[in-house]
Amino acid sequence: MAGKRLVDVSELAVALQTFANERDWHQYHSPKNLAMALTGEVGELVELFQWLTEEQSMAVAQDERTARAVRDELADVLVYLVRLSDVLGVDLNQAVSDKLAANSLKYPKGDSTPKRS
Amino acid sequence: MAGKRLVDVSELAVALQTFANERDWHQYHSPKNLAMALTGEVGELVELFQWLTEEQSMAVAQDERTARAVRDELADVLVYLVRLSDVLGVDLNQAVSDKLAANSLKYPKGDSTPKRS
Amino acid sequence: MAGKRLVDVSELAVALQTFANERDWHQYHSPKNLAMALTGEVGELVELFQWLTEEQSMAVAQDERTARAVRDELADVLVYLVRLSDVLGVDLNQAVSDKLAANSLKYPKGDSTPKRS
Amino acid sequence: MAGKRLVDVSELAVALQTFANERDWHQYHSPKNLAMALTGEVGELVELFQWLTEEQSMAVAQDERTARAVRDELADVLVYLVRLSDVLGVDLNQAVSDKLAANSLKYPKGDSTPKRS
Protein backbone atom coordinates (compact mmCIF):
# COMPACT_ATOMS: atom_id res chain seq x y z
CA MET A 1 0.00 0.00 0.00
CA ALA A 2 3.07 2.23 -0.18
CA GLY A 3 2.36 5.72 -1.49
CA LYS A 4 -1.39 5.40 -1.35
CA ARG A 5 -3.50 7.25 1.13
CA LEU A 6 -6.28 5.04 2.40
CA VAL A 7 -8.11 7.98 3.91
CA ASP A 8 -7.84 11.72 3.89
CA VAL A 9 -9.77 13.41 6.67
CA SER A 10 -7.65 16.54 6.92
CA GLU A 11 -10.26 18.98 5.63
CA LEU A 12 -12.84 17.66 8.05
CA ALA A 13 -10.37 17.91 10.94
CA VAL A 14 -9.76 21.57 10.08
CA ALA A 15 -13.47 22.29 9.68
CA LEU A 16 -14.15 20.79 13.10
CA GLN A 17 -11.36 22.81 14.72
CA THR A 18 -12.89 25.96 13.29
CA PHE A 19 -16.36 24.92 14.36
CA ALA A 20 -15.16 24.30 17.91
CA ASN A 21 -13.19 27.55 17.99
CA GLU A 22 -16.18 29.61 16.93
CA ARG A 23 -18.28 28.16 19.74
CA ASP A 24 -15.65 27.98 22.46
CA TRP A 25 -16.11 24.21 22.61
CA HIS A 26 -12.44 23.38 23.20
CA GLN A 27 -13.12 23.40 26.91
CA TYR A 28 -15.37 20.36 26.42
CA HIS A 29 -13.30 18.51 23.84
CA SER A 30 -10.96 16.45 25.98
CA PRO A 31 -10.24 13.01 24.50
CA LYS A 32 -12.17 11.44 27.37
CA ASN A 33 -15.26 13.50 26.61
CA LEU A 34 -14.98 12.99 22.86
CA ALA A 35 -14.72 9.23 23.36
CA MET A 36 -17.98 9.40 25.32
CA ALA A 37 -19.63 11.49 22.61
CA LEU A 38 -18.52 8.94 20.03
CA THR A 39 -20.18 6.25 22.12
CA GLY A 40 -23.41 8.17 22.27
CA GLU A 41 -23.52 8.60 18.50
CA VAL A 42 -22.81 4.92 17.90
CA GLY A 43 -25.66 4.14 20.27
CA GLU A 44 -28.00 6.25 18.17
CA LEU A 45 -26.79 4.49 15.03
CA VAL A 46 -27.33 1.05 16.54
CA GLU A 47 -30.88 1.96 17.52
CA LEU A 48 -31.75 2.21 13.84
CA PHE A 49 -30.81 -1.44 13.34
CA GLN A 50 -31.79 -3.14 16.57
CA TRP A 51 -35.19 -4.53 15.63
CA LEU A 52 -34.41 -5.21 11.98
CA THR A 53 -33.43 -8.54 10.52
CA GLU A 54 -30.05 -8.65 8.82
CA GLU A 55 -31.85 -8.61 5.48
CA GLN A 56 -33.98 -5.61 6.41
CA SER A 57 -30.84 -3.82 7.56
CA MET A 58 -29.53 -3.84 3.97
CA ALA A 59 -32.21 -1.34 2.96
CA VAL A 60 -31.88 1.19 5.78
CA ALA A 61 -30.23 3.83 3.61
CA GLN A 62 -32.85 3.41 0.87
CA ASP A 63 -35.93 3.38 3.09
CA GLU A 64 -37.17 6.95 3.24
CA ARG A 65 -38.17 6.51 6.90
CA THR A 66 -34.56 5.83 7.91
CA ALA A 67 -32.32 7.12 5.10
CA ARG A 68 -31.77 10.58 6.53
CA ALA A 69 -31.30 9.31 10.07
CA VAL A 70 -28.70 6.72 9.12
CA ARG A 71 -26.71 9.22 7.06
CA ASP A 72 -26.81 11.69 9.94
CA GLU A 73 -25.70 9.14 12.50
CA LEU A 74 -22.85 7.84 10.31
CA ALA A 75 -21.75 11.45 9.86
CA ASP A 76 -21.90 12.08 13.61
CA VAL A 77 -19.74 9.03 14.30
CA LEU A 78 -17.21 10.23 11.73
CA VAL A 79 -17.23 13.73 13.18
CA TYR A 80 -16.35 12.56 16.67
CA LEU A 81 -13.85 10.00 15.44
CA VAL A 82 -11.96 12.61 13.42
CA ARG A 83 -12.19 15.19 16.18
CA LEU A 84 -10.94 12.71 18.77
CA SER A 85 -8.05 11.61 16.55
CA ASP A 86 -7.15 15.23 15.88
CA VAL A 87 -7.14 16.21 19.55
CA LEU A 88 -5.02 13.15 20.34
CA GLY A 89 -2.60 13.94 17.52
CA VAL A 90 -3.20 10.59 15.82
CA ASP A 91 -2.83 10.36 12.04
CA LEU A 92 -5.83 8.23 11.07
CA ASN A 93 -4.41 7.34 7.67
CA GLN A 94 -1.23 6.00 9.22
CA ALA A 95 -3.11 4.24 12.00
CA VAL A 96 -5.46 2.46 9.61
CA SER A 97 -2.62 1.54 7.23
CA ASP A 98 -0.71 -0.07 10.09
CA LYS A 99 -3.81 -1.85 11.34
CA LEU A 100 -4.68 -3.30 7.94
CA ALA A 101 -1.12 -4.54 7.56
CA ALA A 102 -1.40 -6.24 10.94
CA ASN A 103 -4.80 -7.69 10.04
CA SER A 104 -3.37 -9.16 6.84
CA LEU A 105 -0.96 -11.21 8.92
CA LYS A 106 -3.53 -12.08 11.57
CA TYR A 107 -6.22 -13.18 9.12
CA PRO A 108 -4.63 -15.04 6.23
CA LYS A 109 -6.47 -15.05 2.91
CA GLY A 110 -8.96 -17.85 2.66
CA ASP A 111 -9.61 -17.93 6.41
CA SER A 112 -13.34 -17.35 6.62
CA THR A 113 -13.52 -17.07 10.40
CA PRO A 114 -14.82 -13.58 11.10
CA LYS A 115 -12.52 -10.94 12.53
CA ARG A 116 -12.75 -10.36 16.26
CA SER A 117 -10.00 -7.74 16.29
CA MET B 1 -17.82 24.22 1.47
CA ALA B 2 -18.64 23.87 -2.22
CA GLY B 3 -15.99 22.05 -4.22
CA LYS B 4 -14.06 20.84 -1.21
CA ARG B 5 -14.06 17.24 -0.08
CA LEU B 6 -14.12 17.05 3.68
CA VAL B 7 -13.15 13.41 3.65
CA ASP B 8 -11.99 10.86 1.13
CA VAL B 9 -12.31 7.30 2.32
CA SER B 10 -12.65 5.66 -1.08
CA GLU B 11 -9.32 3.83 -1.04
CA LEU B 12 -10.04 2.37 2.35
CA ALA B 13 -13.51 1.27 1.23
CA VAL B 14 -11.98 -0.58 -1.72
CA ALA B 15 -9.26 -2.13 0.43
CA LEU B 16 -11.89 -3.41 2.86
CA GLN B 17 -13.99 -4.86 0.04
CA THR B 18 -10.96 -6.74 -1.21
CA PHE B 19 -10.07 -7.87 2.28
CA ALA B 20 -13.59 -9.21 2.84
CA ASN B 21 -13.67 -10.88 -0.57
CA GLU B 22 -10.43 -12.71 0.02
CA ARG B 23 -11.75 -14.14 3.28
CA ASP B 24 -15.35 -14.78 2.27
CA TRP B 25 -16.52 -12.35 4.96
CA HIS B 26 -19.37 -10.85 2.97
CA GLN B 27 -21.68 -13.40 4.54
CA TYR B 28 -21.07 -11.71 7.91
CA HIS B 29 -21.05 -8.11 6.77
CA SER B 30 -24.70 -7.15 6.94
CA PRO B 31 -25.24 -3.56 8.10
CA LYS B 32 -26.77 -4.88 11.32
CA ASN B 33 -23.67 -6.95 12.09
CA LEU B 34 -21.28 -4.18 11.12
CA ALA B 35 -23.12 -1.74 13.38
CA MET B 36 -22.58 -4.20 16.23
CA ALA B 37 -18.90 -4.60 15.37
CA LEU B 38 -18.55 -0.81 15.37
CA THR B 39 -20.05 -0.79 18.86
CA GLY B 40 -17.58 -3.36 20.07
CA GLU B 41 -14.63 -1.37 18.79
CA VAL B 42 -15.88 1.84 20.36
CA GLY B 43 -16.23 -0.07 23.61
CA GLU B 44 -12.57 -1.08 23.42
CA LEU B 45 -11.60 2.52 22.70
CA VAL B 46 -13.59 3.84 25.65
CA GLU B 47 -11.92 1.35 27.99
CA LEU B 48 -8.63 3.13 27.38
CA PHE B 49 -10.08 6.35 28.79
CA GLN B 50 -12.47 5.22 31.51
CA TRP B 51 -10.29 5.58 34.57
CA LEU B 52 -8.30 8.59 33.36
CA THR B 53 -8.95 12.18 34.28
CA GLU B 54 -9.71 14.49 31.38
CA GLU B 55 -6.22 15.89 31.70
CA GLN B 56 -4.61 12.45 31.68
CA SER B 57 -6.65 11.58 28.61
CA MET B 58 -4.81 14.25 26.63
CA ALA B 59 -1.62 12.17 26.74
CA VAL B 60 -3.01 8.77 25.76
CA ALA B 61 -1.46 8.81 22.29
CA GLN B 62 1.95 9.89 23.67
CA ASP B 63 2.10 7.46 26.59
CA GLU B 64 3.95 4.41 25.35
CA ARG B 65 1.69 2.13 27.41
CA THR B 66 -1.38 3.23 25.48
CA ALA B 67 -0.17 4.84 22.22
CA ARG B 68 -0.34 1.70 20.11
CA ALA B 69 -3.65 0.59 21.58
CA VAL B 70 -5.37 3.92 20.99
CA ARG B 71 -4.15 4.11 17.41
CA ASP B 72 -5.35 0.57 16.79
CA GLU B 73 -8.78 1.18 18.29
CA LEU B 74 -9.26 4.44 16.38
CA ALA B 75 -8.33 2.55 13.22
CA ASP B 76 -10.77 -0.26 14.03
CA VAL B 77 -13.60 2.21 14.53
CA LEU B 78 -12.78 3.84 11.19
CA VAL B 79 -12.60 0.46 9.46
CA TYR B 80 -16.08 -0.56 10.57
CA LEU B 81 -17.54 2.88 9.97
CA VAL B 82 -16.26 2.94 6.38
CA ARG B 83 -17.24 -0.66 5.75
CA LEU B 84 -20.75 -0.07 7.12
CA SER B 85 -21.20 3.08 5.04
CA ASP B 86 -19.97 1.25 1.95
CA VAL B 87 -22.32 -1.70 2.42
CA LEU B 88 -25.21 0.72 2.97
CA GLY B 89 -24.28 2.75 -0.09
CA VAL B 90 -23.85 5.95 1.92
CA ASP B 91 -21.37 8.56 0.68
CA LEU B 92 -19.66 9.61 3.91
CA ASN B 93 -18.30 12.83 2.43
CA GLN B 94 -21.77 13.93 1.36
CA ALA B 95 -23.32 12.82 4.64
CA VAL B 96 -20.84 14.72 6.75
CA SER B 97 -21.07 17.83 4.55
CA ASP B 98 -24.84 17.86 4.98
CA LYS B 99 -24.56 17.28 8.71
CA LEU B 100 -22.06 20.10 9.25
CA ALA B 101 -24.30 22.45 7.30
CA ALA B 102 -27.21 21.47 9.53
CA ASN B 103 -25.06 21.86 12.66
CA SER B 104 -24.07 25.37 11.59
CA LEU B 105 -27.72 26.37 11.68
CA LYS B 106 -28.45 24.47 14.88
CA TYR B 107 -25.46 25.82 16.82
CA PRO B 108 -24.90 29.50 15.96
CA LYS B 109 -21.40 30.87 16.33
CA GLY B 110 -20.75 32.14 19.82
CA ASP B 111 -23.14 29.67 21.44
CA SER B 112 -20.91 27.83 23.86
CA THR B 113 -23.46 25.24 24.94
CA PRO B 114 -22.00 21.91 23.93
CA LYS B 115 -23.46 19.95 21.05
CA ARG B 116 -25.85 17.17 21.93
CA SER B 117 -26.60 16.29 18.31
CA MET C 1 -21.34 -15.18 50.10
CA ALA C 2 -23.02 -18.56 50.53
CA GLY C 3 -26.75 -18.35 51.12
CA LYS C 4 -27.01 -14.68 50.27
CA ARG C 5 -28.63 -13.46 47.10
CA LEU C 6 -26.71 -10.53 45.68
CA VAL C 7 -29.54 -9.64 43.35
CA ASP C 8 -33.12 -10.67 42.79
CA VAL C 9 -34.50 -9.63 39.44
CA SER C 10 -37.10 -12.36 39.11
CA GLU C 11 -40.16 -10.12 39.40
CA LEU C 12 -38.83 -7.78 36.75
CA ALA C 13 -38.07 -10.69 34.44
CA VAL C 14 -41.67 -11.91 34.77
CA ALA C 15 -43.07 -8.41 34.27
CA LEU C 16 -41.04 -8.02 31.09
CA GLN C 17 -42.16 -11.40 29.77
CA THR C 18 -45.78 -10.35 30.30
CA PHE C 19 -45.14 -6.96 28.73
CA ALA C 20 -43.60 -8.58 25.65
CA ASN C 21 -46.39 -11.16 25.42
CA GLU C 22 -49.10 -8.54 25.49
CA ARG C 23 -47.48 -6.68 22.60
CA ASP C 24 -46.30 -9.63 20.55
CA TRP C 25 -42.71 -8.45 20.95
CA HIS C 26 -41.16 -11.90 21.29
CA GLN C 27 -40.53 -11.87 17.56
CA TYR C 28 -38.08 -9.00 18.08
CA HIS C 29 -36.49 -10.20 21.29
CA SER C 30 -33.66 -12.39 20.08
CA PRO C 31 -30.52 -12.12 22.22
CA LYS C 32 -28.75 -10.43 19.32
CA ASN C 33 -31.42 -7.74 19.08
CA LEU C 34 -31.64 -7.26 22.83
CA ALA C 35 -27.87 -6.83 23.04
CA MET C 36 -28.20 -4.06 20.46
CA ALA C 37 -31.05 -2.44 22.37
CA LEU C 38 -28.93 -2.55 25.52
CA THR C 39 -26.18 -0.74 23.62
CA GLY C 40 -28.57 1.95 22.50
CA GLU C 41 -29.76 2.60 26.04
CA VAL C 42 -26.23 2.78 27.39
CA GLY C 43 -25.48 5.27 24.64
CA GLU C 44 -28.35 7.45 25.84
CA LEU C 45 -27.09 7.18 29.40
CA VAL C 46 -23.55 8.16 28.42
CA GLU C 47 -24.82 11.23 26.58
CA LEU C 48 -25.98 12.63 29.92
CA PHE C 49 -22.40 12.57 31.21
CA GLN C 50 -20.27 13.32 28.17
CA TRP C 51 -19.70 17.04 28.61
CA LEU C 52 -19.65 17.05 32.41
CA THR C 53 -16.59 17.05 34.59
CA GLU C 54 -16.26 14.11 36.94
CA GLU C 55 -17.28 16.38 39.78
CA GLN C 56 -20.35 17.65 37.94
CA SER C 57 -21.29 14.08 37.17
CA MET C 58 -21.79 13.41 40.90
CA ALA C 59 -24.86 15.65 40.92
CA VAL C 60 -26.66 14.33 37.84
CA ALA C 61 -29.37 12.57 39.82
CA GLN C 62 -29.96 15.63 42.01
CA ASP C 63 -30.00 18.23 39.23
CA GLU C 64 -33.63 18.67 38.22
CA ARG C 65 -32.63 19.09 34.57
CA THR C 66 -31.16 15.58 34.44
CA ALA C 67 -32.60 13.64 37.40
CA ARG C 68 -35.56 12.16 35.56
CA ALA C 69 -33.51 11.37 32.45
CA VAL C 70 -30.77 9.55 34.34
CA ARG C 71 -33.26 7.47 36.31
CA ASP C 72 -35.07 6.58 33.08
CA GLU C 73 -31.89 5.58 31.28
CA LEU C 74 -30.61 3.51 34.19
CA ALA C 75 -33.99 1.77 34.24
CA ASP C 76 -33.86 1.15 30.49
CA VAL C 77 -30.42 -0.41 30.77
CA LEU C 78 -31.65 -2.67 33.58
CA VAL C 79 -34.75 -3.61 31.58
CA TYR C 80 -32.75 -4.82 28.59
CA LEU C 81 -30.09 -6.48 30.72
CA VAL C 82 -32.70 -8.49 32.62
CA ARG C 83 -34.67 -9.28 29.48
CA LEU C 84 -31.53 -10.41 27.65
CA SER C 85 -30.43 -12.59 30.56
CA ASP C 86 -33.91 -14.10 30.79
CA VAL C 87 -34.11 -14.92 27.09
CA LEU C 88 -30.62 -16.48 27.27
CA GLY C 89 -31.55 -18.48 30.36
CA VAL C 90 -28.77 -16.92 32.43
CA ASP C 91 -29.27 -16.60 36.19
CA LEU C 92 -27.93 -13.11 36.87
CA ASN C 93 -27.52 -13.70 40.60
CA GLN C 94 -25.38 -16.77 39.98
CA ALA C 95 -23.43 -15.06 37.21
CA VAL C 96 -22.60 -12.04 39.33
CA SER C 97 -21.71 -14.18 42.36
CA ASP C 98 -19.27 -16.17 40.27
CA LYS C 99 -17.81 -13.02 38.73
CA LEU C 100 -17.26 -11.31 42.07
CA ALA C 101 -15.53 -14.42 43.39
CA ALA C 102 -13.24 -14.37 40.35
CA ASN C 103 -12.61 -10.63 40.77
CA SER C 104 -11.60 -11.17 44.40
CA LEU C 105 -8.81 -13.43 43.23
CA LYS C 106 -7.86 -11.21 40.31
CA TYR C 107 -7.76 -7.97 42.31
CA PRO C 108 -6.27 -8.62 45.75
CA LYS C 109 -7.27 -6.29 48.57
CA GLY C 110 -5.04 -3.29 48.75
CA ASP C 111 -4.31 -3.27 45.04
CA SER C 112 -5.48 0.15 43.97
CA THR C 113 -4.99 -0.35 40.24
CA PRO C 114 -8.44 0.08 38.72
CA LYS C 115 -10.30 -2.93 37.36
CA ARG C 116 -10.14 -3.46 33.63
CA SER C 117 -12.22 -6.66 33.73
CA MET D 1 -47.39 -3.02 41.10
CA ALA D 2 -47.85 -1.60 44.58
CA GLY D 3 -46.03 -3.53 47.29
CA LYS D 4 -43.99 -5.64 44.93
CA ARG D 5 -40.29 -5.14 44.43
CA LEU D 6 -39.35 -5.67 40.81
CA VAL D 7 -35.69 -5.86 41.66
CA ASP D 8 -33.55 -6.03 44.76
CA VAL D 9 -29.92 -5.19 44.15
CA SER D 10 -29.11 -3.95 47.64
CA GLU D 11 -26.77 -6.79 48.60
CA LEU D 12 -24.78 -6.36 45.42
CA ALA D 13 -24.55 -2.61 45.98
CA VAL D 14 -23.11 -3.21 49.44
CA ALA D 15 -20.71 -5.88 48.19
CA LEU D 16 -19.42 -3.48 45.52
CA GLN D 17 -18.97 -0.68 48.05
CA THR D 18 -16.89 -3.01 50.19
CA PHE D 19 -14.93 -4.22 47.20
CA ALA D 20 -14.13 -0.64 46.17
CA ASN D 21 -13.24 0.35 49.72
CA GLU D 22 -10.79 -2.49 50.12
CA ARG D 23 -8.96 -1.47 46.95
CA ASP D 24 -9.19 2.30 47.31
CA TRP D 25 -11.16 2.47 44.06
CA HIS D 26 -13.52 5.26 45.15
CA GLN D 27 -11.13 7.75 43.59
CA TYR D 28 -11.94 6.24 40.17
CA HIS D 29 -15.66 5.66 40.67
CA SER D 30 -17.17 8.95 39.59
CA PRO D 31 -20.47 8.54 37.76
CA LYS D 32 -18.80 9.73 34.57
CA ASN D 33 -16.12 7.05 34.81
CA LEU D 34 -18.58 4.33 35.76
CA ALA D 35 -20.79 5.22 32.80
CA MET D 36 -17.74 4.73 30.58
CA ALA D 37 -16.91 1.42 32.23
CA LEU D 38 -20.49 0.28 31.66
CA THR D 39 -20.07 1.14 27.98
CA GLY D 40 -16.91 -0.90 27.75
CA GLU D 41 -18.59 -3.95 29.26
CA VAL D 42 -21.57 -3.67 26.95
CA GLY D 43 -19.14 -3.49 24.05
CA GLU D 44 -17.56 -6.76 25.16
CA LEU D 45 -21.02 -8.34 25.45
CA VAL D 46 -22.03 -7.19 21.98
CA GLU D 47 -18.86 -8.66 20.48
CA LEU D 48 -20.14 -12.11 21.44
CA PHE D 49 -23.20 -11.61 19.24
CA GLN D 50 -21.96 -9.53 16.33
CA TRP D 51 -21.30 -12.24 13.76
CA LEU D 52 -24.11 -14.56 14.82
CA THR D 53 -27.51 -14.84 13.20
CA GLU D 54 -30.44 -14.09 15.47
CA GLU D 55 -31.14 -17.81 15.64
CA GLN D 56 -27.55 -18.64 16.57
CA SER D 57 -27.69 -15.96 19.24
CA MET D 58 -30.35 -17.96 21.09
CA ALA D 59 -27.79 -20.63 21.97
CA VAL D 60 -24.94 -18.43 23.21
CA ALA D 61 -25.44 -19.34 26.87
CA GLN D 62 -25.61 -23.07 26.06
CA ASP D 63 -22.65 -23.20 23.68
CA GLU D 64 -19.64 -24.16 25.77
CA ARG D 65 -17.40 -21.87 23.70
CA THR D 66 -19.40 -18.79 24.74
CA ALA D 67 -21.40 -19.74 27.86
CA ARG D 68 -18.84 -18.58 30.38
CA ALA D 69 -18.05 -15.41 28.48
CA VAL D 70 -21.66 -14.33 28.12
CA ARG D 71 -22.37 -14.94 31.81
CA ASP D 72 -19.27 -12.96 32.75
CA GLU D 73 -20.15 -10.04 30.51
CA LEU D 74 -23.76 -9.90 31.70
CA ALA D 75 -22.42 -9.89 35.26
CA ASP D 76 -19.97 -7.10 34.45
CA VAL D 77 -22.74 -4.96 32.97
CA LEU D 78 -24.85 -5.52 36.07
CA VAL D 79 -21.92 -4.71 38.35
CA TYR D 80 -21.31 -1.33 36.75
CA LEU D 81 -25.00 -0.53 36.45
CA VAL D 82 -25.57 -1.18 40.16
CA ARG D 83 -22.38 0.62 41.16
CA LEU D 84 -23.28 3.64 39.03
CA SER D 85 -26.82 3.78 40.42
CA ASP D 86 -25.49 3.49 43.95
CA VAL D 87 -22.94 6.27 43.51
CA LEU D 88 -25.65 8.47 41.98
CA GLY D 89 -28.07 7.67 44.79
CA VAL D 90 -30.68 6.27 42.40
CA ASP D 91 -33.03 3.56 43.66
CA LEU D 92 -33.09 1.15 40.72
CA ASN D 93 -36.27 -0.57 41.88
CA GLN D 94 -38.13 2.71 42.02
CA ALA D 95 -36.65 3.88 38.73
CA VAL D 96 -37.64 0.72 36.88
CA SER D 97 -41.11 0.69 38.43
CA ASP D 98 -41.70 4.24 37.25
CA LYS D 99 -40.32 3.47 33.80
CA LEU D 100 -42.51 0.40 33.31
CA ALA D 101 -45.55 2.39 34.34
CA ALA D 102 -44.65 5.02 31.75
CA ASN D 103 -44.01 2.34 29.12
CA SER D 104 -47.46 0.84 29.76
CA LEU D 105 -49.03 4.13 28.76
CA LYS D 106 -46.66 4.69 25.84
CA TYR D 107 -47.04 1.21 24.36
CA PRO D 108 -50.65 0.08 24.68
CA LYS D 109 -51.32 -3.66 24.80
CA GLY D 110 -51.72 -5.13 21.37
CA ASP D 111 -49.41 -2.59 19.75
CA SER D 112 -46.74 -4.78 18.16
CA THR D 113 -44.47 -1.95 17.06
CA PRO D 114 -41.22 -2.50 18.89
CA LYS D 115 -40.18 -0.22 21.72
CA ARG D 116 -37.72 2.53 20.84
CA SER D 117 -37.70 4.00 24.33
Give the per-residue pLDDT at D111: 75
Q: What pLDDT digit, counting tens, does each position of A63-76 carry?
A: 999 999 999 999 99
CB A115 within 8 A of CB B25: yes
Would you call D53 and A51 a contact, using CB atoms and an 8 Å cutoff? no
Q: In chain D, what percentage of residues exceed pLDDT 70?
A: 95
pLDDT of residue D4: 74
- Which residue of A lies nearest to B102 if distances are taken between CA atoms? A72
**To the nearest whole number, what is the mean pLDDT of chain C?**
94
DSSP state at residue A115? P
Task: Report the neighbours of B using a cutoff of 3 or more CB pairs below 8 angstroms.
Answer: A, C, D
Does pLDDT of D114 surpass 80? no
CB contact under 8 A, D47 and A116: yes
Cα of A41 vs its chain's centroid, Å:
10
Tell me the chain A residues in contact with residue D35 when contact means C-beta distances shorter than 8 Å. Answer: 36
Structure confidence at residue A116 as a pLDDT band (50, 70, 90): low
Give D3's pLDDT tier (boundaries 50, 70, 90).
low
- Residue among D40, D49, D51 minimizing CB distance to B43: D40
Q: Show residues of chain C in contact with D94, CB under 8 Å.
A: 71
Q: Is the ipTM of this complex over 0.85?
A: yes
Q: List per-residue pLDDT tens for chain B, 117 residues long.
A: 456 799 999 999 999 999 999 999 999 999 999 999 999 999 999 999 999 999 999 999 999 999 999 999 999 999 999 999 999 999 999 999 999 999 999 999 887 777 654
CB–CB of C81/D80 below 8 Å? no
Q: What is the pLDDT of residue B116?
A: 56
Q: Give the helix ranges, DSSP H, for A7-89.
A: 10-22, 31-47, 54-57, 67-88
Does this model's pTM top 0.90? My answer is: yes
Residue D87, helix vs strand vs coil:
helix
